[in-house]
Amino acid sequence: MSKVITPQEEDYSKWYNDIVVEADLADHSAVRGCMVIKPHGYAIWEKMQQALDKMFKDTGHVNAYFPLFIPKSLFEAEEKNAEGFAKECAIVTHYRLKSDPQNKGKLIVDPEAKLDEELIVRPTSEAIIWNTYRGWIESYRDLPLLINQWANVVRWEMRTRLFLRTTEFLWQEGHTAHATREEAIEETKKMLEVYADFAENWMAVPVIKGVKTPNERFAGADDTYTIEALMQDGKALQAGTSHFLGQNFAKAFDVKFANKEGKLDHVWATSWGVSTRLMGALIMSHSDNNGLVIPPKLAPTQVVIVPIYKGDEGLKKLAEVAAVIKAKLQQRNVTVKFDDRDSHRPGWKFAEYELKGIPVRIALGERDLSNGTVEVARRDNLTKEVVKIDEIETYIVNLLEEIQSNLFKRALERREQMSHQANTFDEFKKILDEKAGFVYAHWDGTSETEEKIKEETKATIRCIPLNNKQEQGTCIYTGKPSTQRVLFARAY
């Protein structure tokens, strides 16, 4: 073994890092907190983008692109939003460098080139977008405005982790404008459903849909909806959010429309986003000590064919059969790679594709050739099966579906096993320390109690689940009456 991954049991965080780096997903860059997304990692992100983009378009949205920079005066217009992001902004103050007279070959910021107004590198785009929408919206006929953008944003976090929290990250942000409050809320919920659908049916990651408490709300939102996933180590990960922004941005940027009665009113807004953080969720949901595990629907390569041969003649014979198998699979929309590189031996390739998470491997040797079979190995549970070449395409198509649903099932079972109820604060703390995972508990509904619990246990309210069961109970912290359990966890 030339590439060793730290076992999860030994150090989960190290395991995660090893997977990201060794599976060639991403690397630390020369810029602190910023990563290089390598081709294999980027290919998975592209699959995610394609699927999501189609879902957005199917729900009536179109793509556009807005500037990276936001003039400070616009940025500060919506007060709560500005305040929420102020402490993690990168700011452009100058537009030119010049040679350092003191130090040959070095450059300094040209003090003559100071900007009159600083530019904020977007941490999110509400400000620049709503400032633009003012010019686009006059009448109810201009509504709804349903726009998405794929972009990069910068948030100057103190501590970063590959994919989970990087200074610069890639994401999509939807920004919509509506004539009524009801319609905007409907949109907010609709996009949450899209995210949940994507997480569960593409990423094979089960999620809890819910509403954030005021404490955890997006800065500038009236309500934040979220999907929360549970990672293998029992920590929660916020996988996507959809915000009902009320009329906050419309008022801050004076975006009004004339309704059918000819009266002017501020429009209602939503915004919603998912980011490259989803890559982290994907990794921490399915991967194991042998490396990455990619659900078939998001795998850039779903099947790899590895020939096992002796000499050029042998390879030639196998290549012919492999080409037939490949063509048959491609006809069924399966992405296949035939790895006939002579520079590595089969065993090396097996290990490599396992590490990189390719869902299915077909091994094809002379022995198979005479039997009319191949050896099919699946990545999710590492089992192998001998399959007749005649039946290969149906077998593989079914197998890919089976792997996709098995991954989801496995993740769901794990989440259920790691979901607990706590009725007292002692019990609550005990579960967090000994079992981790999701903890459903009664809460008195106040921010103060939420804060106290966070201070003492590091657990936060991940969400108040949608369609939550109503039941009488008492707050685990204050003993005050409560009507429902909310979802607590320690989170990434």
Among 7, 67, 347, 481, binds RNA (CB under 7 A): 347
Q: Where are the alpha helices (DSSP H) in 166-310?
A: 181-201, 248-252, 277-286
**Residue 482 dihedral angles phi and psi, to the nearest 5°:** -145, 150
Name the one range near RNA by CB under 7 A: 94-102, 324-332, 375-383, 397-405: 375-383
d(CA 90, CA 400): 44
Whether 90 contacts 56, CB under 8 Å: no
Q: Residue 290, interface with RNA (CB under 7 A)? A: yes
Q: Residue 384, interface with RNA (CB under 7 A)? A: yes
Tell me the number of residues near RNA by CB under 7 A.
Answer: 67
Least distance to RNA, CB of residue 32, Å:
3
Residue 261, SS3 per DSSP: coil
Name the one range near RNA by CB under 7 A: 65-73, 101-109, 292-300, 376-384: 376-384
Q: Residue 188, interface with RNA (CB under 7 A)? A: no
Binding mask 389-408 toward RNA (x if CB under 7 A, else -) reads --------------------
CA geometry: angle at 296 spanning 380 and 166, to 5°?
Answer: 90
Buried (b) or exposed (e) across 217-238, using 16+ Cβ within 10 A? Answer: bbbbbbbbbbbbbbbbbbbbbb
Q: Residue 350, interface with RNA (CB under 7 A)? A: yes
Least distance to RNA, CB of residue 80, Å:
8
Which of residues 13 and 483 has its CB atom nearest to RNA in the complex? 13
Name the one range near RNA by CB under 7 A: 95-103, 250-258, 367-375, 440-448: 367-375
Query: Tokens 């040209």 label which residue?
Result: 110
Tally Cβ neighbours within 10 Å of residue 345: 11
Whether 428 contacts 401, CB under 8 Å: no
Q: Strand pairing partners for 463?
A: 487
Whether 226 contacts 464, CB under 8 Å: no
Which of residues 17 and 180 has its CB atom nearest to RNA in the complex? 17
Q: Residue 10, interface with RNA (CB under 7 A)? A: no
d(CA 365, CA 373): 9
Tokens of 430: 């005990």
Which of residues 204 and 376 has its CB atom nearest to RNA in the complex? 376
Distances (CA, A) of 246 to 225, 264, 385, 394: 13, 16, 56, 50
d(CA 59, CA 411): 28
Among 132, 172, 213, 241, binds RNA (CB under 7 A): 241
Give the footprint of RNA on residues 426-445 (CB under 7 A): none
The DSSP H or E segment spanning 326 is: helix 311-331
Q: Residue 352, interface with RNA (CB under 7 A)? A: yes
d(CA 349, CA 347): 5
Name the one range near RNA by CB under 7 A: 38-46, 70-78, 90-98, 213-221: 213-221
Q: Residue 351, interface with RNA (CB under 7 A)? A: yes
Give the footprint of RNA on residues 299-338 (CB under 7 A): 308-311
**Residue 450 dihedral angles phi and psi, to the nearest 5°:** -60, -45
Would you give the DSSP letter of residue 122? P
Instruction: State how far Cα 147 lies from the chain centre.
Output: 20
Which of residues 137 and 303 has its CB atom nearest to RNA in the complex? 303
Q: Residue 28, interface with RNA (CB under 7 A)? A: yes
Q: Give 13: exposed, middle or buried? Use CB within 10 Å, 0-12, 13-18, 19+.
A: exposed
Whether 358 contacts 303, CB under 8 Å: yes
Name the one range near RNA by CB under 7 A: 102-110, 254-262, 340-348, 402-410: 340-348
d(CA 303, CA 322): 12
Which of residues 88 and 426 has its CB atom nearest to RNA in the complex? 88
Among 148, 160, 188, 287, binds RNA (CB under 7 A): 160
Q: Residue 368, interface with RNA (CB under 7 A)? A: yes
Least distance to RNA, CB of residue 210, Å:
14
Among 10, 105, 159, 472, binds RNA (CB under 7 A): 159
Q: Residue 366, interface with RNA (CB under 7 A)? A: yes
Name the one range near RNA by CB under 7 A: 60-68, 361-369, 394-402, 470-478: 361-369
Distances (CA, A) of 429 to 266, 432, 435, 472, 482: 46, 5, 10, 22, 19
Which of residues 115 and 382 has its CB atom nearest to RNA in the complex? 382
d(CA 6, CA 160): 20
Instruction: Give the orientation angle of helix 425-434 with respect to helix 447-457, to 10 degrees.
Output: 40
Which of residues 257 and 272 has its CB atom nearest to RNA in the complex? 272
Give the footprint of RNA on residues 85-104 (CB under 7 A): 85, 87-88
Name the one range near RNA by CB under 7 A: 30-38, 70-78, 246-254, 481-489: 30-38
Query: Tokens 């919920």 label which residue?
Result: 189
Least distance to RNA, CB of residue 74, Å:
17
Least distance to RNA, CB of residue 377, Å:
5
Among 188, 275, 276, 287, binds RNA (CB under 7 A): 275
Which residues are at the interface with RNA (CB under 7 A)? Answer: 1-3, 13, 17, 28, 30-33, 84-85, 87-88, 123-124, 155, 157-162, 165, 216-221, 224, 238, 241, 273, 275, 290, 308-311, 342-352, 354-355, 361, 363-369, 374-375, 377, 382, 384, 458
